[in-house]
């Protein structure tokens, strides 16, 4: 099964290349300042949320309150570039992942982006069973870099792939994302064929 694990682009377009979508569309609902994830299929829990950034203190507080009081799960765009991670570090003396853990919600979160995850972050994510959604073309296109997918898989972190807003993948083609991912993984590990066919299959199934 091919799963687009995060798509904020054209949903109809994305469905052409995916068996299932997880995440948000441009037509999301708002509830007390919290962005509710659109329900794509009957397996998606209504009321789950998407947090597009952790640098907005009020938004972060509202989202955490919502998670704690309702038991909702969240897709949090975290550690997605040096600027965002630097703001969090300067304000809280913690990485974005460590901050979510300190706030008591990490085990309810899925991290999207993850370009700036370090080994301690990945170890904690593995310990708390926190999935990671990587966004290869968006992260490269916007100049963020690339997520440490091989390091995450090595630790047993569940990894998925998404097209995000589709700016650098207009067709929202999940196969294009995985082809691009193979190249960024090679760059991460400084070798060819860093990801096996089995790795790609797991990532596409988000399992």
Half-sphere exposure of 189 (CA within 13 A, CB side): 17
Q: What CATH number matches the domain at 3-166+195-205, 3.90.870.10, 3.40.50.300, 3.40.640.10, 3.20.20.140?
A: 3.20.20.140
Residue 187, φ and ψ in degrees, nearest 5? -65, -40
pLDDT at position 25? 55
92: alpha, beta or left? (left if phi > 0; alpha if psi -120 to 50): alpha
C-alpha–C-alpha distance, residues 130 and 105, integer Å = 11
Instruction: For the chain, 207 residues long, give each residue's pLDDT as a single digit of tens.
Output: 999 999 888 888 888 999 988 876 545 555 555 555 544 443 444 468 888 899 989 889 988 988 998 888 899 999 999 999 999 999 999 999 999 999 999 999 999 999 999 999 999 999 999 999 999 999 999 999 999 999 999 999 999 999 999 999 999 999 999 999 999 999 999 999 999 999 999 999 998
| Strands 49-51 and 74-78, sheet pairing | parallel
Half-sphere exposure of 116 (CA within 13 A, CB side): 20
Looking at the chain, which runs of residues are DSSP E strands? Answer: 3-4, 20-21, 29-31, 34-36, 49-51, 74-78, 109-113, 132-134, 159-161
pLDDT at position 45? 47
The full set of domain ranges for the chain reads 3-166+195-205
pTM, two decimals, is 0.91
């Amino acid at each position: 099964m091919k799963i687009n694990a995060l798509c904020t682009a054209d949903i109809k377009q994305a469905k052409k290349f995916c068996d299932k979508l997880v995440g948000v569309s441009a037509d999301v609902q708002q509830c007390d300042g919290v962005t509710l994830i659109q329900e794509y299929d009957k397996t998606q829990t209504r009321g789950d949320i998407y947090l597009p950034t952790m640098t907005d203190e009020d938004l972060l507080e509202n989202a955490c309150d919502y998670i704690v009081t309702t038991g909702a799960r969240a897709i949090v765009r975290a550690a997605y570039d040096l600027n965002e991670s630097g703001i969090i570090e300067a304000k809280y003396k913690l990485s974005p992942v460590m901050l979510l853990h300190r706030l008591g919600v990490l085990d309810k979160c899925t991290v999207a982006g993850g370009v700036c995850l370090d080994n301690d972050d990945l170890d904690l994510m593995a310990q708390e069973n926190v999935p990671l959604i990587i966004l290869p073309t968006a992260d490269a296109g916007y100049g963020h870099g690339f997520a440490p997918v091989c390091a995450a898989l090595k630790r047993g972190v569940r990894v998925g792939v998404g097209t995000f807003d589709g700016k650098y993948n207009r067709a929202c083609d999940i196969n294009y994302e995985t082809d691009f991912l193979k190249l960024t993984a090679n760059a991460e590990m400084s070798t060819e064929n860093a990801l096996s066919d089995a790795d790609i299959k797991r990532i596409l199934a988000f399992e």
